[in-house]
């Protein structure tokens, strides 16, 4: 089952690749906020999830399998 993720949710970055492991280990960037969900060129116009690190201004595109829900938030998409 695919976990529904929406704008505003807090997610945990998973160690699915070298860069994610580096962000978690060296920078302590575990928890991120979902900023946008949609197709992105970096994944061949497939779905991407744009996230921002809590506590810093680091932002990046990830795929759904790179993150898990940490806590749900109110939908902020329309704000």
Query: Residue 70: pLDDT band by 50, 70, 90 thresholds?
Result: confident
Global pTM? 0.84
Tell me, what's the pLDDT at 26? 86
- Residue 14 within a domain: yes
Tell me, what's the pLDDT at 8? 92
Please give the residue range of the domain that contains residue 31.
Answer: 10-71
- Residue 28 within a domain: yes
- Residue 4 within a domain: no
31 within 8 A of 70, measured Cβ to Cβ: yes
- Residue 76 within a domain: no
Specify the number of domains making up the chain: 1
- Residue 53 within a domain: yes
- Residue 5 within a domain: no
Mean pLDDT of 55-64: 94
Residues 1-54 pLDDT 10s: 566 899 999 999 999 999 999 999 988 999 999 999 999 999 999 999 999 999
Give the Cα-Cα-Cα angle 10, 64, 46 (nearest 5 degrees).
Answer: 130
53 within 8 A of 24, measured Cβ to Cβ: no
């Amino acid at each position: 089952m695919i976990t529904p993720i929406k704008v505003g949710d807090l997610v945990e970055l998973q160690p699915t690749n070298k860069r994610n492991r580096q962000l978690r280990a060296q920078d302590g960037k575990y928890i991120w906020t979902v900023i946008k969900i949609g197709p992105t060129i970096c994944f061949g116009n497939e779905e991407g999830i744009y996230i921002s690190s809590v506590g810093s201004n680091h932002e990046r595109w990830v795929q759904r399998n790179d993150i898990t829900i940490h806590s749900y938030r109110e939908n902020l998409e329309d704000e």
